[in-house]
Structure 1
Amino acid sequence: MTERKRGDIPRAQRLAQDAAEAADVRRWRTHPDVVALQVERVRSQVDRLCWAGIILGLAFTAANVQWFAAAGSAFGSLPWLTAWFLDPTVCLVLLGILRAEQVTARYQVRTGRWVRAAKWLTLGATYVMNTWSSWAAGSPAGVVLHSVPPMVVFVAAEAVTDLRDKLTDAVQAALVKATDVHEPVTPDRERPARRMFADYLADARHAWTPAVKVTPAWVREVTGCSRGLSSRLAAELSAETREAASHGR
C-alpha cells in the first residue's frame, strides 16, 4: 500500500497531526533541561561580551593611570617604568573578585560586605586615578573622556553579577513550572509516572524530624528532586515547620 500524500488526508486529520506536532515541540522547548541549555548558551554569551568590555575598559585606563603615576618622569626612567605596575595591581584584584562572583552568582551564593567593598574600592581608585588630572586642569571634556571607561567597567561589574543571578532564576523557574519529570518517550519505554511539587513536598514532610535542619541538599537526598526544585521545597517546608513550632505543635 502506497503512503498517502498529505493532500489526500482529510483536513481535520491534518490539523490533528499539526496540533500533535506543535504540542510535542512545545513540550520539549519548555523541558527544564532544554531551557537550562538555552540559558547556559545565553550565559556564555553574556559572560564573553561583559568580560570583553571590562578588559577593554581596563586596558584603556592603564595608560591614563600610568601617566598619572609617572607624574612627568622621563621616558624609560625607573619611576616611569614602575608606574605601569599601579593599574595592573588594582585591576588584577578587581578581576579576581569578578571571576569569583561569576561562580557564586551562578549558584546564588551571596558574598559578604568585604567583597563588595573591595570591588567598589578598586573601581573607585581606577576612576580617581583616571580623572584626577582632568579635574585639576579644569577640563570638562577630559573628565568626560576619562570617566566613561571606568564607569562602564563599574556598571558592567555590578550588572553582570545580577544577570547571572537572574539567569539562574530563569532555569529554576522553568524547573518549578514543570509539572512532571520529563523523559523521552520511546516505543519500548513507557512514560514515567508524573510527580508534582506536592508529591515531593509530601516526601520531605514524611522524612523530616525536629532534629533535622531543612536545607536544599537534605531535600534532594530524601526526595530525589532536582537542585533547582530543592530550594523551593526547602523554603516551603521550613515555613511549615516554623509555623508549626509557633503554634506549639
Structure 2
Amino acid sequence: MTTTTVPQDARHQPLSQADKLTQDAAEASRIRKLSTHPDVIALRVEKVRTQVDRLMWTGLLLGLAFTMVNVQTFAAAGAAIWSLPWLAAWLLDPMVSLVLVAVLRAEQITARYQVEMRTETLGPWVRRTKLFAFLATYVMNTWQSWSHLHVSGIVLHSVPPVMVYLAAETGPILRDRLTEAVVRAARLVPGATDTTVNTRPSTQDSNADTLTNTPSAPVADQRAPRSRKPAAQKATKPRRPSRYEYLDRVRTAHQPGIVVTPAWVREVVPDISRGTSKVVSDLLNAELDTPHITTDTTAVDLPGRAA
C-alpha cells in the first residue's frame, strides 16, 4: 500500500496551488539574484579565464616544443650526434623560448588586472623582444625548407610559430575583455558593493552600520575611518577610466572627415591600451554609422525658422 505525501506548511496544513506558486516564485527570485550577483559572475568568469589560460599555454608550449627539433637541426649544421656542437645546439631554442615565455607571462598578469603596458612608460623593448623571439624561431624553423623551396615543408614548419604568435597577441586581449565583463557586471547590478545577497538597506550609511562588528561604538567613530580611507586611496592610486569614458573623450575630439581607427584613438587618448582602443574605435564607428534623433530644441526649431 503506497501513500502520497501532500505539501504542508509548518502548521501541517495542505498548501494550496497559490501557496506553492508563491514559494516557487520566491525561490526563483532568490536564484536569479544570486546568479546575477557580481561575486557569482566574477567566480564564473574566473573559471572561464582559467580554462582560457590553460588552453592558451598548452597550445603555446606544444608549438614551441614542435619547433625545438628543427631549431636544433639548424643550429647543429650536420654535426655528429652526441658531439659537443650537437649537444650545444639543443640550448638555442630553449634560450629563445624561455625569454618569450617570460614576456608572455608578464603580459598575462598585466592583462588580468588591466594594467596598461604603454610604450611611453616601458619603452619599445618589450614588443621588440617578443617580435625578435618569434622571428628568430620562425627563421630557424623554416630555413631549410626555404633554402630548398619545399612548399609543403614551408607550410608545415610555418604553422606552429605563426600560431604561437597569434595566441600570444590574442591572449592579453581576451583576459582584458574577461576582466571588463566582471567590471561591467559590478557596475550594472545594484548593490554591487554588498558581499551577500539579502534585504539590507540600500543606502551606504545603513550598510556601514550593518557590516560593522562594534555596534556599541558611536556612529561618528564608526564612519570617520571609512570616510578618510577612500580619500587616501584616491590620492595614491587614481581610478582607471572605463571604455565609455574613453568613448566620450574621442567622441568630443572627432570631426567630420576623420577616419576612426585604433591608432587615431591612441593619439587622442595616449593612456589607452591597444585592446581598449580597438573596442572604443568600434563603438564610435557604430555610433557614426547609426542615425541619431536629436532632442535639441534649436535643431527642432530650424525648419520653423526657415519657413
Per-residue Cα deviation, 1:141-182 (whole angstroms, up to 9, x for no partner): 101111111111111111111111111101101111122233
Q: Who wins on radius of gyration, i.e. which is larger?
A: 2
Aligned to 1:136: 147
Going from structure 1 to structure 2, the CA distance change for 1:107 and 1:159 (only over 3 Å counts) comes to same
Given that residues 131 and 143 in structure 1 are in contact (C-alpha distance below 8 angstroms), is that contact kept between their aligned partners in structure 2?
yes
Going from structure 1 to structure 2, the CA distance change for 1:70 and 1:35 (only over 3 Å counts) comes to same
Going from structure 1 to structure 2, the CA distance change for 1:175 and 1:231 (only over 3 Å counts) comes to farther
SS of the aligned residue for 1:53 comes to helix
- Greater shift in the superposed pair: 63-72 or 11-20: 11-20
TM-score by length of 2: 0.60
Going from structure 1 to structure 2, the CA distance change for 1:175 and 1:110 (only over 3 Å counts) comes to same
CA-CA distance at 1:81 after TM superposition: 1.4
Please tell me the root mean square deviation across aligned C-alpha atoms, in Å. Answer: 3.1
Matching residue within 151, 161, 178 for 2:172 = 161
Cα separation, 2, equivalents of 1:145 and 1:21: 56
Pairwise mapping of residues 16-95 of structure 1 onto structure 2 (< 5 A)?
16-95=22-101
Pairwise mapping of residues 9-20 of structure 1 onto structure 2 (< 5 A)?
9-20=15-26
1:147 aligned to 2:158?
A: yes
Going from structure 1 to structure 2, the CA distance change for 1:17 and 1:161 (only over 3 Å counts) comes to same
Identity value in percent: 51
Aligned to 2:283: none
Given that residues 123 and 154 in structure 1 are in contact (C-alpha distance below 8 angstroms), is that contact kept between their aligned partners in structure 2?
yes
CA-CA distance at 1:3 after TM superposition: 6.2
Aligned residues: 207
Cα separation, 2, equivalents of 1:176 and 1:223: 23
TM-score by length of 1: 0.74
Aligned to 1:193: 202
Cα separation, 1, equivalents of 2:127 and 2:165: 12
Given that residues 179 and 194 in structure 1 are in contact (C-alpha distance below 8 angstroms), is that contact kept between their aligned partners in structure 2?
no
Going from structure 1 to structure 2, the CA distance change for 1:80 and 1:56 (only over 3 Å counts) comes to same
1:121 aligned to 2:132?
A: yes
Aligned to 1:206: none
Matching residue within 220, 224, 231 for 1:222 = 231
Q: Deviation above 6 Å: which 4+ runs of structure 1? A: none
Aligned to 2:115: 109
Given that residues 131 and 146 in structure 1 are in contact (C-alpha distance below 8 angstroms), is that contact kept between their aligned partners in structure 2?
yes
Cα separation, 1, equivalents of 2:182 and 2:232: 20
Given that residues 183 and 192 in structure 1 are in contact (C-alpha distance below 8 angstroms), is that contact kept between their aligned partners in structure 2?
no
Letter in 1 for 2:64: L
